[in-house]
Amino acid sequence: MKALLNVYSKIMDVIDKILRVIVGIAMVVMVIVIFYQVILRYVFNASNIWSEELARYLMCYSVLLGAAIAVRKYSHLQVDFVINMLPARGRCIAVSLCTLVGIGFLGFFCQYGITLCATTGHSISAGTGLPMSVAYACLPIGSVLMILMSVEVILRELVKFQELGHKKKGVQA
């Protein structure tokens, strides 16, 4: 199990690095576009139709891709009062079960996102001229990435559960 976790974690490390670069670039572009829009509007008393829309789409992608990074690092806001009261092996089980419930939700979220992309593929965004399916693609992309990261969380918890069991028996893992 630990060997599987190590291989999977290395794959997730690569995906994590790529996501961090994409989110970083998206945030920089978003700030530049918003700054451009503010200067255009308040200094030159003019505006354009694409900047606000592009910034909104970049924000959506940043949030959902960033959420995948946060899943991997246990960085989401959570109420862990009850989980912290459990013994160590019980915490592993509770975290794994909660993560499985999250994967179930993300499955529905992904399905909804795919349906939304399919039904809006013919619609074109007024400002950017992109198909609306590009804007909505952040939903299935983000949910699939969160599912992949959640699988790593579960694998980590199972390895921890196994190691705690070996320590309890006095066996070195």
What is the distance between the alpha carbons of residues 64 and 92, in angstroms, rounded to a whole number? 26
pLDDT for res 127: 86
Mean pLDDT throughout 62-82? 85
CA 7-8-11 angle, to 5 degrees, is 90
What is the distance between the alpha carbons of residues 44 and 80, in angstroms, rounded to a whole number? 51
For residue 75, what pLDDT band results from cuts at 50, 70 and 90? confident
172, pLDDT greater than 90: no
What is the distance between the alpha carbons of residues 162 and 173, in angstroms, rounded to a whole number? 9
Mean pLDDT throughout 63-87? 84
pLDDT in tens, 9-54: 999 999 999 999 999 999 999 999 999 999 998 899 888 889 999 9
pLDDT in tens, 109-162: 999 999 999 999 889 988 888 899 999 999 999 999 999 999 999 999 999 998
Name the more confident of 3 and 77.
3
Cβ-contact 46, 40 below 8 angstroms: yes
Cβ-contact 113, 143 below 8 angstroms: yes
63, pLDDT greater than 80: yes
pLDDT for res 170: 63
- Dihedral of CA atoms 33, 35, 41, 46 in degrees, nearest 10, equals -40
3-class SS of residue 7: helix
CA 124 vs. chain centroid, Å, equals: 26
Range 91-125 burial, b when 16+ CB lie within 10 A, else e: bbebbbebbeebbeebeebbeebbebbeebeeeeb
List for the chain the helix, strand, coil content (%; round to 5): 80, 0, 20
